């Protein structure tokens, strides 16, 4: 079954229902979200996860979201898992954790933006993710943090500037792009600052921890 969410409005969730997330998607597919702003929620702004209805976990798939924003939430802006997702013009800013936690393989991000989040801009922990024209700036950790073992990651035409403002992290973890012991990473047409703004921001443009 397909679901369309298009309230074109500001929504909040300061209580603990659904984990405090504004939208919690569990084990369903074909959810379309357009023109929604989740702000100051007690958990994540948007949280997608699998669910066991009694016969094994069902993964959420085939999401198509556009022009969706998550601002000032107590968790991450977007915590996304599943597969075959298509996200366009998502914005995550001033969230307490990462702007985006990406555990959804076979997923494309186009024109997305992560800024002023208290952890990483994008935390990528899965295979086969493409980001085109995505921005990450002024985040406390790395702009793009690619975990160990992730592969098939493509960053094309993206920008990473002034990240790594948390000086309690290692220099590598405060980079524009942090790459764990990953492989098959494609980076092209990218603008990345390298310690341009002084020691209080990202020390490496790209840091390969392999």
**Local structure of 174: helix, strand or coil:** helix
User: Measured between alpha carbons, how far is residue 103 from residues 16, 169, 193, 204 in Å?
Assistant: 23, 23, 26, 25
Handedness of CA 107, 112, 47, 5 (dihedral sign): negative
Task: State pTM to two decimals.
Answer: 0.89
Is it the case that residue 196 has pLDDT exceeding 70? Answer: no
Residue 65 backbone dihedrals phi, psi, to 5 degrees: -120, 140
pLDDT single digits (tens) 69-121: 999 999 999 999 988 899 999 999 999 999 999 998 899 999 999 999 999 99
- How far apart (Å, rounded) are the C-alpha atoms in residues 22 and 71? 11
pLDDT the model gives residue 85: 92
Question: What percent of the residues of the chain are helix, what percent strand, and what percent coil, each to the nearest 5?
Answer: 5, 45, 50
């Amino acid at each position: 079954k397909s679901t369309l969410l298009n309230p074109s409005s500001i929504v909040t969730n300061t209580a603990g229902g659904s984990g405090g997330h504004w939208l919690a998607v569990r084990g369903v597919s074909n959810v379309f979200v357009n023109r929604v702003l989740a702000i100051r929620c007690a958990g994540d702004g948007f949280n997608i996860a699998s669910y066991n209805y009694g016969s094994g976990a069902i993964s959420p798939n085939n999401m198509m979201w556009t022009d969706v924003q998550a601002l000032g939430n107590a968790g991450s802006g977007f915590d996304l898992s599943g597969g075959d997702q298509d996200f366009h013009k998502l914005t995550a800013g001033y969230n307490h954790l990462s702007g985006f936690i990406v555990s959804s393989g076979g997923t494309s991000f186009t024109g997305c933006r992560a800024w002023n989040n208290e952890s990483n801009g994008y935390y990528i922990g899965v295979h086969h993710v493409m980001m085109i024209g995505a921005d990450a700036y002024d985040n406390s950790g790395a702009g793009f943090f690619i975990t160990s073992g992730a592969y098939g990651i493509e960053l094309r035409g993206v920008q990473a500037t002034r990240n790594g403002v948390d000086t309690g992290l290692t220099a590598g973890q405060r980079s524009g792009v942090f790459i764990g012991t990953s492989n098959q990473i494609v980076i092209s047409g990218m603008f990345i600052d390298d310690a341009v703004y002084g020691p209080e921001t990202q020390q490496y443009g790209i840091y390969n921890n392999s």
